[in-house]
Amino acid sequence: MVSEQEPHGPPPERPDLLVTGGDVVTMNARREILAGGAVAVAGERVLAVGATSALRERWPGTPELSADGCVVTPGLVNAHQHHTGDPLARARIPDDLPPGASVGSWAIPLHRAHTAADDGLSALLTCVENLRNGVTTVVEAGTVAHPHRVADALRTAGIRGTVGTWGWDVPGAPFAAPAPRVLDRLRALVETYPAGGRVEGWVTLVGHGLASDELLAGAADLARATGAPMTMHMSPSAADPAHYLELTGRRPVLHLADLGVLGPHLLLAHAVWLDDAEVDALLTSSTAVAYCPWAYLRLGQGVTRAGRHAELFERGGRLALGTDAQNAGDSSDILKAAALAAGLAKDMRADPTRFGAAEALELATIRGAEAIGMADRIGSLEPGKYADLVVHTTAGPEWTPRGDIAHQLVWSADGRSVRDVLVGGRVVVRDHRCVTVDETELRADAARAAADLLHRSGVPVRSRWPVIAAH
């Protein structure tokens, strides 16, 4: 028997909602699963987790969301997601381009042609997709021109998330500016969206080889001074190590270490191509990593040859999963990313005994929350934390018959089982539909805006196979 847990601090009078009858995967320190359990939600927070009968008896007459026969998990964490540029050009950048070719012919023209309205619309689309896959917290990847539009979209959809803005000082590139101006822009953003809110401003740089030492060090100082975390891209392929070795004589992570950029404030996206000293530098500095395995496979970046993410995880490193962009990984489905992370960990080391579904589910929830610095608020279903939770239906054949819950969530199921989603106690997905947004209208708006954007940007639109008008 699992006893009902009391919340920390003075509890509110009573819950507004009981999510009842599901198998509650708490992801608490003991990783307890409450068979036929319930979650009591009061305002934005979890008030109690316990047996359904006990919570009903304690608070009779409380409205209920029935999760009978379902699996209830904490909301999932997506630690690297582009909100603009790619969403309206989804599945348009070919998957057979040579390395880097998509930037000049696709990414730059698309971002240059993106309007403020496009930013808002593509962010809304991205939020809806994430919510419908059970993602309740999303970290923006640092490629946004109109951050307030993106913040508005996050609020409209009702997702928890971070927002950044373009940060690079390579002369001549779109949205580039001298380091002091980029830092002013980022400072204004993190002041507008302070840490702890539903939408948080983060210090975001594009990273790779697109920032001067002044900008890199200044951004880390800004993060330390404001308490806003920092994120940037590094070493998804062998190109960044080659660039930094030529420019500085050091590998990129060691260069960042020398500049004082590494630390618990930093979430490095990718970090696929690392040598032993770089792995040690990430571990000793408590730098976190956002791991987006589908993107590396889709782009052929060599994760099966070079990736050290399972090792980072097993040595106590801070690691989260991400889904990158709609033309790099493509699907915002963290459960699919979790399955791939576990499969790669086993296959790359030809060792099936380590890193399975349980570890992958930790990455998608509590360990992911820890990596993005939010484990005190999200990542598990425990009294006092935000009521960010997912009800997974088990009506489908992938759940039949029922087996080990972590196995089935990671290896058998995916985002298609996500039936209901709460963020901060608010129901944002019900019966597989996002209820905060008119999805029909959103689809129509996106189709129109995508056609306009593709036309304005002049990117080549092609189909590998002939498409014939047959109506």
User: Which residues of the shown chain bind Zn ion in the complex (CB under 5 A)?
Assistant: 141, 324
Closer CB to Zn ion, 144 or 189, in the complex: 144
Shortest spacing between CB 268 and Zn ion, in angstroms = 11
Selection from 171, 199, 168, 161 nearest residue 183 by Cα = 168
The residue with tokens 């939600």 is 41
Closer CB to Zn ion, 128 or 141, in the complex: 141
Shortest spacing between CB 126 and Zn ion, in angstroms = 13
Query: Is there a contact between 395 and 143 (Cβ–Cβ < 8 Å)?
Result: no
Closer CB to Zn ion, 206 or 369, in the complex: 206
- Report how far residue 381's alpha carbon sits from residue 37's, in angstroms, rounded to the nearest whole number: 11
17-25 and 33-42 beta bridge pairing:
antiparallel
φ/ψ of residue 186, rounded to 5: -70, -35
Shortest spacing between CB 208 and Zn ion, in angstroms = 10
Shortest spacing between CB 309 and Zn ion, in angstroms = 16
Please provide the distance, in angstroms rounded to a whole number, between the alpha carbons at the two ends of the chain.
Answer: 62
Name the E strands within 106-170. 135-140, 160-163
Shortest spacing between CB 103 and Zn ion, in angstroms = 12
Neighbours of 445 (CB within 10 A): 15
Closer CB to Zn ion, 294 or 355, in the complex: 294
Closer CB to Zn ion, 141 or 320, in the complex: 141
Residue sitting closest to Zn ion (CB)? 141
Closer CB to Zn ion, 55 or 299, in the complex: 299
Peptide linkage before 178 cis (omega within 30 of 0) = no
- Report how far residue 232's alpha carbon sits from residue 223's, in angstroms, rounded to the nearest whole number: 12
Closer CB to Zn ion, 328 or 381, in the complex: 328
Shortest spacing between CB 46 and Zn ion, in angstroms = 32
Selection from 404, 399, 324 nearest residue 31 by Cα = 404
What is the DSSP code string of 167-180?
A: ----TTSTT---HH
What residues pair up with 66 in beta bridges, in sequence order? 20
Closer CB to Zn ion, 95 or 438, in the complex: 95
Shortest spacing between CB 31 and Zn ion, in angstroms = 31
Selection from 114, 202, 118 nearest residue 160 by Cα = 202
Neighbours of 406 (CB within 10 A): 21
Selection from 83, 25, 28, 106 nearest residue 322 by Cα = 83
Shortest spacing between CB 79 and Zn ion, in angstroms = 11
